[in-house]
């Protein structure tokens, strides 16, 4: 069977945690930060897990993750 290509856009966005869950960055932390409060900016800086409903789609995009 041939090797499968991974989607490079997804490979740059997702990582695997130690327990095997798929981790992602949170949205809304790129620009227009001056009106967002410091607590909100700090909360957006943290890494989140991909929801269980979306994890199968990420698995298809990254076959060797």
- The CATH number of the domain holding residue 14 is 4.10.410.60
Predicted local confidence at residue 13, as pLDDT: 96
Is 1 within the bounds of a domain? no
Is 28 within the bounds of a domain? yes
pLDDT tens, the chain, 65 aa long: 899 999 999 999 999 999 999 999 999 999 999 999 999 999 999 999 999 999 999 999 999 98
| Residue 4 CB-half CA count within 13 A | 9
Is 16 within the bounds of a domain? yes
User: Which H/E stretch holds residue 49?
Assistant: strand 48-49
Q: Report the number of distinct structural domains present in the chain.
A: 1
Predicted local confidence at residue 24, as pLDDT: 97
Residue in the block written with tokens 């060797």: 64
Output the pTM of the full model.
0.82
The residue segments making up the domain with residue 42 are 8-61
Is 2 within the bounds of a domain? no
């Amino acid at each position: 069977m041939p090797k499968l290509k991974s989607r490079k856009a997804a490979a740059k966005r997702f990582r695997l945690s130690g327990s095997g869950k798929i981790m992602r960055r949170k949205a809304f932390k790129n620009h227009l930060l001056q009106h967002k409060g410091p607590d909100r900016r700090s909360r957006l800086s943290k890494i989140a897990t991909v929801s269980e409903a979306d994890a199968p789609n990420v698995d298809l995009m990254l076959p060797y993750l």
